[in-house]
Chain A
Amino acid sequence: MAAPPETLWVRGQTAELARVRRRVSAWAEASGLPARAGRRIQLAVDETVANAIEHGLGAGRRVVVRGAPGRGGLTVTVRYRGARFDPTTAPTAPPDAALRARAKHGYGLHLIRRLVDDVAYRWDRGTNEVRLTVRAAPPPNAS
């Protein structure tokens, strides 16, 4: 199964996150992803959009979330104009150190990096683009 790509325009308010999650869940279903894989990309997208809304998004701007359900998995692209922020390289304390320090923040980046099979970042003339992919079947060497 697959479905045509779909684009969501998300206002810079955390109240929008639930709507984003509903759409990602529908895209995951259209991709034929197992439920657990669907939850993984749903959470990774939530964390990415929440980061944009809370930290980087320019005033009055929107986050553009595009889902491309395919036969082999689901790719969701999050684009927004604002402060440059690369979740693949942004410094963050390792989880065990964060836990020992009882850190209240920083877990979202670890979730983004761990939950999906591929996360790619691109900075394009003032626009952040984060591309998250979960595959329907794990790669041959994955445990």
Chain B
Amino acid sequence: MSHFSVRFDRREGPPEAPVRVLAPSGELDAHTAPDFEAALQACLDGGDARLVVDGAGLDYVSSAGLGVFMAFVEPARTAGGDLKIAALPDRVFEVFDLLGFPTVFDMAPTVEAAVAAFDAR
């Protein structure tokens, strides 16, 4: 079985405009992508559209995981927020980069930088 979990109970940034931080951990593949999708959907359903994925705990991503990121970026932006990606390990970033995902997503070296980027626009 793939080891995967996702925490999404953390909020950063100013209290009047918080940023929800999701921290997936483990291997994001065709088996675990639905769990990640459910977490992102729960955030949107709860009214949080300012989202940062803290990728530091990700060991692996396949196209199924990339598809989940892609599914939520426009809904987040339409709702006035964004889906930013932070702190990806090099070996995981390689996969995003190979397909050109950095042209669509705001990718930051740290969660702090990603959170700060919401208010820098």
Contacts and interface: CB of A to CB of B under 8 A. Distances in A.
A87 to B, nearest CB: 12
A111 B73 CA distance: 21
B17 interface: no
B73 to A, nearest CB: 7
Nearest to A18: B2
Contacts, number: 75
10 closest pairs, A vs B, by CB? A108-B63, A14-B31, A107-B63, A18-B2, A104-B67, A50-B30, A14-B30, A104-B71, A46-B62, A95-B99
| Interface bin, chain B | 20 to 34
A23 interface: no
Contacts of A125: none
A25 to B, nearest CB: 10
Contacts of A102: 70-71, 73-74, 104
Interface in A2-34: 14-15, 17-18, 21
Contacts of B91: 36, 39
A103 to B, nearest CB: 7
